[in-house]
Structure 1
Amino acid sequence: MTQSLTIARPDDWHLHLRDGAMLQAVLPETARHFGRAIIMPNLVPPVVTGAQATAYRERILSALPKGMQFDPLMVLYLTEQTDPDDVAAAHASGLVKAVKLYPAGATTNSASGVQDFDKVRPTLEKMAEIGLPLCVHGEVTDSDIDIFDREAVFIDRVLDPIRRTTPGLKVVMEHITTSNGVEYVKANAKDLGATITTHHLIINRNHILVGGIKPHYYCLPVAKRESHRLALRAAATSGDARFFLGTDSAPHTDPNKESGCGCAGCFTATNTMALLAHVFDEENALEKLEGFASQNGPAFYGLPVNSETLTLRKSETATVFPEKISSDDGPVTVFDPGFPVFWNVT
């Protein structure tokens, strides 16, 4: 029997669109379902000034297919040279909705990130003053820290001290992957939220390594133990407004994913909403999907919920998703959950 669920049009609070030919190829995959998205600024070179964010937004809108409605929410890349006044001006203009903290070397195109956190304190204080959220890639990059422990150590060594020394700073812990992240959010009600990706609700680290290396499941932060995945699923489906969707959909061409040093990232823009319906259905929490995907993020960022709607339907026939998206840079593999999905967007 067909089931249907209609929700407010969702938003993606963590998205990589890249630039050039890749932007042209992947933007429609997001704009088809999502009304808005927080756009990651880790281009080469990164988007660090209001002027650069303006130019990038114009390129995104120029790449948007005719007839599609989509609002890119721009983000500045925090560096040790970031000008607090430029950040404030970009925010006051309505252009910039957040600033992104990448610890140097943490992930793709993060070489310009922060090493000395004292050097960015004036910017963080200005952001707290004007109510501009800080989005954090929550991993330390110290060589002596195991990659599976990076998030937990970041909370203790970096995030908690930043929040304690910058009262009033709104922080989004992006793509949390551990029960440590879940518990930290739940214990700190004020000015703190967290995004959870689609793929971290579905895969654990076994999916990457068992039976051979699966490069299209490799992402950063890397997927963790099954106990952490279950903690994420419980948080996402709980109805707690501090948790909301950020896909971290990250396109790389197949040669770059399948090389001797493959890039990190899962491309989930195409099938995220169907996969989320499957997850929430499994957890008997379909009534909570709208909050997670459509309501909690706007509430945190102080924006209205989208007035348009999106309808998901479940049928007896498994949904067929494209295996790849073509771009002039090369093919991009769409995330495969590894099981049949009977939900689809109609």
Structure 2
Amino acid sequence: MSEKIIVVTGGAGFVGSNLIKKLNENSITKIIVIDDYDERKLKNIKDCSFIDYISYKNGVKEIGEQISKYDISAVLHIGANADVLIRDANIMFDLNYEHSKFYLNYCLEKKIPLIYASSSAIYGNSNNCVIENEFEDPHNVYAWSKWMFDKLVLNNIENYHSKVIGLRFFNIFGMGEFHKDKNASLPHRFYQFINENGFIDLFDREILRDYVWVEDVTQIIIDILFQDDWKNGIYNLGSGTPISHESLAQITTEIFVARQLKSSGDDLIKKIAMPENLLGSFQFFTKAENLEPRIAKYTANNKEKVKSYINELIDFHQ
């Protein structure tokens, strides 16, 4: 692919800003960022190189008019409304389905690659996170909005004459998620709990989820963009190795004790009852199945990467 201009949606957010940094590290600076004007997120791209910034809140018509001024070579569609507590399907589907459909149609018309973020939320509490309809069980409107776009992509994929690849992100952690509040990764939340409250609130249910480091995620996206032998379709992007919430809490407390920030780990974890209103929409188990080997080579050793991340958070805030 000749160097033209790459669009990164959600570019000021957690994954998007890390993706721009990774592109910059690969000497790619002709980037258009599409996001909103949240001041907290803008800090993520303070040291990034890009050529324009467009608010998604202007709507797809305005976005289309603005990007039409440029020679776009690819769209990396990372942006989404990921607030699982939103119940208004119209709000969720407008941003996650209609905007995604706009980028798909744009890329197909221009015959340029579209790489987009799907979500493991589509699986709900399925025992098998496999990209097949029988294993997909969305539990909230966020998951349904992601499922709907995946279906649109898969239903027409044989007719595409350019690269269209969706990545079902599992639980991503890493630097740059400080603005996400309750939607931040659990390693980040557990770090915050101890740092701010002195202990971790842990639900009294067995919960195991698949975690993947943002550095691995962004490298995989760049590989897919520039390697021509990826088949169009949807791929799981996780580690294949779930970690329990309890294990994550123990990892976090052990690091605080080892670094002499806490004298004992005995009182750093407090179990609490899970609220009844979460039971029907909460994922208790995720594990990325059937990982593409080129993805799996990056995402292994996720527990060690979580440990490194907790230490990095401590170092950053000291």
Q: TM-score, normalised by structure 2?
A: 0.38
User: If each structure's helix is expressed as a fraction of its own residues, which one has the higher value?
Assistant: 2
Q: Higher relative CO (CA 8 A, sep ≥ 6), structure 1 or 2?
A: 1
